[in-house]
């Protein structure tokens, strides 16, 4: 049985759309409810997240904890989950049950050597301001972004893969740390699986996300040795992209502006070793 763990902190506006997508489809005439064990861990919620999740019926088990901590929610979800492969899903994305099954298929093949998988991203940009659209035109083409498991809101692991990430320290960038925990031959982006990742709609909310990413990347790097892989974007990456697609020059300028602004905004938190303040983007949670 596949277990799906969903940490949720005040996600009343979006938890329903995710659960409805997971539960809606069928496979060979059997409901996906019979194939998956869904655990929603409401951590420090002060809204209706738990009630909305519980209203989806017996296919969803709701666990409530008082502390607003994603790391604690993930570990609590592990304590209540029943099976493997295990899929960790952010509450603000949308993925269907069929896509979850596509993700877990490689993890059930003991000969594949694959320990972790993630889906291809779909990022709907129509409601975003032009600078946000320009940023993501560049971001989505970066090698580390295309090949890594992070930034997708979903990661699936086998039992051996779970043992690997369970040993990681509590980090803000849990998806980045999980991605880097696996060698390229141990991880797979499954092109037959799709996830909808809702982007920030405004420049201000994009910068919030990028500050959080900059701070959390710095925290991850503090736990790495200098020889370990990095997910940072280099000047060489941007130059290579421009050589391939010169028309993206103005978008690269916007990307660099966002990176510089985020780096400046992150300095204080990094100096203070503040890896607990979560700058949340609310615009992506709008209907």
Q: Is residue 67 part of a domain?
A: no
Domain membership of residue 70 (yes or no) is no
Question: What secondary structure does DSSP assign to 169-226, as a single string?
Answer: ---S-HHHHHHHTS-GGGEEEEEEEEEEEPPPSSHHHHHHHHHHHHHHHHHHHHTS-T
What does the pLDDT read at residue 277?
81
* Residue 150: per-residue pLDDT: 96
Phi then psi for residue 244, to 5 deg, are -75, -40
pLDDT tens-digit map of 135-167? 999 999 999 999 999 999 999 999 999 999 998
Angle between helices 97-104 and 15-24 (to 10 degrees): 70
Q: What is the mean pLDDT of residues 269-285?
A: 86
CA distances (Å), origin 55, targets 4, 50, 63, 146, 286: 17, 9, 13, 36, 21
| pLDDT for position 29 | 45
What pLDDT is recorded for position 231?
Answer: 72
Report the C-alpha dihedral over residues 84, 87, 88, 93, rounded to 10 degrees. -160
pLDDT higher than threshold 80 for residue 269:
yes
Low-confidence winner among 43-47, 126-130, 197-201, 273-277 (lowest mean pLDDT): 273-277
In a domain, 13, yes or no: no
The number of distinct structural domains making up the chain is 1
DSSP states along 251-274 = HHHHHHHHHHHHHHHHHHHHHTT-
* HSE value, Cβ hemisphere, 13 Å, CA-based, for 141: 19
pLDDT band at 27 (very low <50, low <70, confident <90, very high): very low
- The mean pLDDT of 57-70, rounded to a whole number, is 95
Q: What is the pLDDT of residue 28?
A: 45
Low-confidence winner among 29-38, 150-159, 165-174 (lowest mean pLDDT): 29-38
- Determine the structural domain holding residue 241 and report its residue range: 84-285
pLDDT averaged over every residue in the chain:
92
Range ranked top by mean pLDDT from 20-29, 223-232, 247-256: 247-256
Domain-embedded: residue 9: no
Confidence of residue 111 (pLDDT cuts 50, 70, 90): confident
Q: Give the predicted TM-score (pTM) of the model.
A: 0.92
pLDDT at position 171, please?
85
On whether residue 25 sits in a domain, the answer given is no
- pLDDT for 26 equals 46
Residue 215 within any structural domain of the chain: yes
**Confidence check: pLDDT of 256 > 80:** yes
Average pLDDT score over residue span 273-279: 83
Assess if residue 33 is contained within a domain.
Answer: no
25 burial class (0-12, 13-18, 19+ CB within 10 angstroms)? middle
């Amino acid at each position: 049985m596949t277990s799906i763990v969903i940490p949720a902190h005040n996600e009343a506006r979006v938890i329903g759309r995710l659960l409805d997508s997971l539960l809606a489809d069928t496979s060979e005439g059997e409901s996906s409810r019979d194939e998956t064990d869904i655990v929603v861990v409401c951590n420090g919620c002060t809204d209706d997240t738990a009630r909305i999740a519980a209203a989806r019926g017996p296919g969803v088990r709701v666990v409530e904890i008082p502390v607003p901590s994603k790391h604690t929610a993930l570990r609590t979800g592990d304590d209540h989950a029943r099976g493997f492969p295990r899929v960790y899903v952010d509450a603000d994305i949308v993925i269907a049950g069929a896509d979850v099954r596509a993700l877990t298929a490689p993890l059930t093949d003991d000969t594949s050597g694959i320990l972790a998988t993630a889906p291809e991203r779909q990022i709907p940009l129509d409601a975003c301001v032009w600078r946000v659209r320009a940023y993501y035109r560049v971001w989505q083409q970066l090698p580390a972004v295309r090949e890594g498991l992070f930034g997708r809101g979903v990661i699936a692991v086998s039992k051996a893969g779970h043992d690997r990430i369970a040993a990681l320290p509590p980090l803000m960038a849990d998806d980045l740390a999980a991605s880097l925990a696996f060698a390229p031959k141990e991880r797979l982006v499954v092109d037959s699986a799709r996830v909808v990742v809702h982007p920030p709609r405004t420049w201000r909310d994009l910068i919030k996300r990028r500050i959080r990413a900059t701070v959390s990347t710095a925290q991850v790097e503090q736990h790495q040795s200098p020889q370990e892989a990095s997910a940072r974007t280099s000047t060489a990456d941007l130059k290579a992209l421009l050589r391939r697609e010169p028309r993206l020059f103005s978008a690269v300028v916007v990307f660099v502006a966002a990176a510089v602004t985020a780096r400046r905004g992150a300095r204080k938190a990094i100096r203070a070793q503040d890896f607990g303040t979560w700058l949340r983007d609310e615009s992506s949670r709008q209907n």
